[in-house]
Structure 1
Amino acid sequence: MQTFTDKVSAAINTLWSSTSDNPLFNLGVDISARLIAVGVILAILLLIRKLLDSLVVRFFRQVSKGKQHVVSENRLHTLMSLSRSIVRYGIYFIGALTILPEFGVNVSALLTAAGVGGLAIGFGAQNLVRDVIAGFFILMEGQFDVGDFVSIADREGIVENIGLRTTTLKDFTGSRHIIPNGEIKSVTNNMGSSMRVQVDFSIGFENNLDYVREVLESLCEEYANKIPALIDPPRVVGIQSFSDAGLVVRVRASAEPLMQWTAERQLREAIYKGLKERGVVVSYPHVQVLHEEKGGIENG
């Protein structure tokens, strides 16, 4: 059975039959035919990959726009990422099977040999197999999705991509961490229905605690609707601890995932300003320096 290269080579030989007795010319024709064939195959495979990739993206966009789909947006992005990976690796595999015969490689014999040597290859590529299997279970079990804020080992960040072999995290410094799926032993998914907002601040011992609580409850009620990220209104937990500077009082609330830090900063600033305006003494660590003079110790 003639390959595409054989057909191209025959056409070129027919066109230039007058010089067909020259060995160097024949070698050049053969090499040229193979390079042309490989180029055409690669171009066709690239076109097919782009077409299939476009169809996958379009399909998931249509699903996302549907009114009755029960899958979350993050989950759809994850499944779309997986589908695109499968298409990509499938095209690579087909490309290899198509191009290898152009260089005289017997693909059937190669596949037979691969079956015989599968054990050795599997042993050598056990990390790759481990990563792919782990990636499959991560995707099927829905442990986390694209867009989730997760902690994996000593790394944390937003999940940018979940592939069959690796997972990509982007932390808040902009760095990307590419983690082999087989190394993911435990995951902390921080994308619950709400995240805790906790504000601690110190007040002086001289303050009236009943008055401080009254002021705090008033501030919590005032800012419950002024901080958009808050889900539950802030509430006064009470005195958390004692410090050298004063009493540590805690206020707690709930916020939308990934917005807890913004809500915490806004709540802290609002409470600080409110306490100052209402005459509550906000304490802070300070050091008293004493200077010893001849006549005794003077307060510096």
Structure 2
Amino acid sequence: MINGKDIQTFIDKYIISENEWSILLSATIRIALIIIGAILAIKYGKKVIRKVLKVQVRGPLQVSERRSLTLVKLLESVLVYVVFFIAVISILPIFHVEIKGLLVGAGVGGVALGFGAQSLVKDIISGFFILFEDQFSVGDFVRIQNFEGTVKEIGLRTTKVRASTGELHIIQNGLITEVTNFSLNNAIAIIDFNITYEGDIEHAQQVIEAHLETMPKQYEEMVDTPKFLGVQNLGPAGVTLRITSEVKPMTQFKISRAIRKEIKEVLEANNIEISFPKMVLYNQQ
């Protein structure tokens, strides 16, 4: 038979008292407010960062649009780290965790881990030099060591490069020793094509140059009129002729394809034969 003492013991052991409910509710509300405040701080902080850098692009202290995009990504990343750190530090006292002791312990631990964190420091310093020297920015097409692709993000520790085939390469900033940036300056499209040895090179040159004069009106990527350079090589398949065109950064592939297509059509329209490898068989008898 259950007596009053057993009931009281059960209540004391398993049922939360009114005072405890009040403490739990208060702690939950405080944690919720801190989390909501952190989310709002990140949201509006990002807006402020974007607005400030947008003004900088248009203001007297000129910042290029490509560099502005890179700084936005980096500052947003720093903002998230700082806000979440402050939020965690604010939530811990609610669980009666001593912040001072934790910070002192973190300081001692930081000294102990200092030697092991040299690579981290190197990555961060290298990342800042990449930004301040404007070596490359988000959206640039680069080659870093053996990796080639479009820069998607420059963080405090790593740089993310997406290859043209879809792979995402994540490279530590401290390991970046060689960078080739294809997006800073105008590019040169180089087009080689062959005509037969029997073909009239001067006639081919006249026809091609006349057509090249019309191409800048069709393609805004062309900085100047393409140039016919002449005979590049005498090969087994025919006479190799070369055309070059100065174009805007990273548009050389598109313009090369367009010039090849139109030169083929022009040569065929003027009865100039494009050469191709041929096999000739001789009978010894």
Shorter-chain TM-score tier: 0.7 to 0.9
Paired residue type of 1:232: D
Assess, with a 3 A threshold, how the Cα gap between structure 1 residues 67 and 58 changes in structure 2: closer, same or farther: closer
Cα distance in 1 between the residues matched to 2:42 and 2:218: 50
SS in 2 for 1:207: coil
* Between 252-261 and 173-182, the greater mean CA deviation after superposition: 173-182
Cα distance in 2 between the residues matched to 1:249 and 1:149: 29
Paired residue type of 1:42: I
Structure-to-structure mapping, 1:233-244, within 5 angstroms:
233-244=225-236
Cα distance in 1 between the residues matched to 2:111 and 2:240: 64
- Structure 1 residues without counterparts, runs of 5 or longer: 1-18
Match of 2:270 among 249, 266, 278: 278
Assess, with a 3 A threshold, how the Cα gap between structure 1 residues 116 and 219 changes in structure 2: closer, same or farther: same
Paired residue type of 2:34: I
Give the structure 1 partner of residue 215 of structure 2.
223
How far residue 229 of structure 1 moved from its aligned partner, in angstroms, is: 1.1
Assess, with a 3 A threshold, how the Cα gap between structure 1 residues 96 and 230 changes in structure 2: closer, same or farther: same
Instruction: Say if 2:22 is the partner of 1:22.
Output: no
Give the structure 1 partner of residue 155 of structure 2.
163
* Conserved 8 A contact 1:152-1:188: yes
TM, length-normalised to structure 2: 0.85
Cα distance in 2 between the residues matched to 1:138 and 1:28: 54
Cα distance in 1 between the residues matched to 2:32 and 2:99: 19
Paired residue type of 2:90: T
- Structure 2 residues without counterparts, runs of 5 or longer: 1-8
Considering only aligned residues, what root-mean-square deviation do their CA atoms show, in Å? 2.7
* Conserved 8 A contact 1:202-1:248: yes
Paired residue type of 1:41: I
Give the structure 1 partner of residue 50 of structure 2.
57
TM, length-normalised to structure 1: 0.81
How far residue 68 of structure 1 moved from its aligned partner, in angstroms, is: 4.1
* Conserved 8 A contact 1:227-1:266: no
* Between 263-272 and 222-231, the greater mean CA deviation after superposition: 222-231
* Between 271-280 and 27-36, the greater mean CA deviation after superposition: 27-36
Paired residue type of 2:134: G
SS in 1 for 2:183: coil
The number of residue pairs the alignment matches comes to 274
How far residue 271 of structure 1 moved from its aligned partner, in angstroms, is: 1.2
Give the structure 2 partner of residue 195 of structure 1.
187
